Amino acid sequence: MVQETYLITGAGTGFGKGIALGLAEQGKKVIAGVETMSEVSALVKEAKEKEIEIQVEKLDVTDPADRERAWTWDVDVLLNNAGISEGGSLVDIPEERLRNQFEVNVFGPILLTQKIAKAMVKKQRGKIVFMSSVSGLMADPLSGPYGGSKFTLEAFAESLSKELQEFNVQVSTINPGPYLTGFNDREFEAWRTWRDNPEERIFDYTQLAFPYEQFDPEELIKEAIKVMTGETNDYRNVIPKAMGSMIKKRQKELWDKKTDENLGERHEMVQKSIDIEPATTPTKGIVNKIKDKL
């Protein structure tokens, strides 16, 4: 039986690196796509130290030349994991930052997927996984740019799954909740790169932080590998699973929401962004309370 080849984008940090190394540790043939050459060197060194065999390639999904080179690889399972998070109010975020959010999270991955998917169609087999987010299923204030990109990715993934089913190509999504990789906290620091007039902003971003307690990412990596290898064949994979009920509740609430309700009041999630400290993890005493709320 021919060994499957796994391509993971955004494998230089966070979930992507953990999943790539985890698959390689299981003896899988892995191509780890990273954004920069410095990340290539760093990951090659780390894999060597861990005595893990892995192929590391520069793959910036927004770079046409990198995409073209990736199309020459024989890929059986693709994880579109590369992504960034641009936080901030939709009325404050500068145009170039909003466009960049969609270039990296939507257009780059979809353009990369196109020819890889066509190769899978010719083989009549393959799997495409999109690293979405719970923010692709429910929207919070101050995360509209990131959430918007993930909602878009959800629509693209659903359409693609229906288009490719007759060709025996599987499509699924992974929807991580709040895990402490640094990614979520960087979202609420993105405003530091803005080239705008701070006096015209409606929010003071120096006072805001990611509004959720964050968990150890090892759980996500373990469950994501199950999705990649086919140990689970669910289309949508919310991790942690406990967040599923919260998401469904939030989606249902929109059907009854009135446009004039709570006007003049600060939204509770904006207030929590003000109150919480960055990189907050749940203490043992409140873990059960959080799970009950979820």
Catalytic residue positions?
Answer: 146
d(CA 111, CA 70): 11
d(CA 253, CA 109): 31
d(CA 55, CA 280): 35
